[in-house]
Amino acid sequence: MTPLEAFGAYETAALAAIGNAQGPSELEAVRIEFLGKKQGRLKDVQAFLGKASPEERPALGQRFNEVKDRVTSAFEARQSALAQPETLATAIDLTIPGTPVRIGREHPISQTIAEFKEIMGRFGFTVDDGPEIEDERHNFDALNIPFDHPARDPLENFYLATAQSSAGPVLLRSQTSTVQIRVMERTKPPIRIVSVGRVYRPDEVDATHHAMFHQMEGLMVGKGVTMASLKSVLRLFATSYLGGDVNVRFRPSFFPFTEPSVEVDVKWKNGWLELGGAGMIDPNVLDAVGYDPEEVTGFAFGLGIARFCMLRHGITDIRRFYENDIRFLSQF
Rounded alpha-carbon distances, angstroms, from residue 301 to 91, 221, 229, 245: 60, 12, 12, 22
User: Does residue 213 belong to the site contacting ligand DAH (CB under 6 A)?
Assistant: no
Give 292's DSSP letter. Answer: -
Does residue 256 have a cis bond before it (omega within 30 degrees)?
A: no
| Interface region with ligand DAH, contact rule CB under 6 A, candidates 35-43, 116-124, 297-305, 320-328 | 297-305
Considering beta carbons, is residue 3 or 218 the nearer one to ligand DAH? 218
Quote the least distance from Cβ 320 to ligand DAH, whole Å: 22
Residues 143-182 interacting with ligand DAH (rule: CB under 6 A): 175, 177
User: Does residue 302 belong to the site contacting ligand DAH (CB under 6 A)?
Assistant: yes
Considering beta carbons, is residue 241 or 255 the nearer one to ligand DAH? 255
User: Does residue 197 belong to the site contacting ligand DAH (CB under 6 A)?
Assistant: no
Between the two ends of the chain, the Cα-to-Cα distance in Å is: 84
Quote the least distance from Cβ 247 to ligand DAH, whole Å: 21
Residues 261-280 interacting with ligand DAH (rule: CB under 6 A): 261, 276-279
Dihedral of CA 295/223/196/128: which sign? negative
Any residues with CB less than 8 A from the CB of 25 and at least 6 apart, and which? Answer: none
User: Does residue 258 belong to the site contacting ligand DAH (CB under 6 A)?
Assistant: yes
> What gap in Å lies between CA 246 and CA 264, rounded to an integer?
13
Considering beta carbons, is residue 157 or 261 the nearer one to ligand DAH? 261
Tell me the angle at which helices 57-83 and 3-20 cross, rounded to the nearest 10 degrees.
0
Number of alpha carbons in the 13 Å side-chain half-sphere of residue 286: 25
Quote the least distance from Cβ 279 to ligand DAH, whole Å: 4
**Residue ranges that bind ligand DAH, judged by CB under 6 A:** 175, 177, 217, 255, 258, 261, 276-279, 300-302
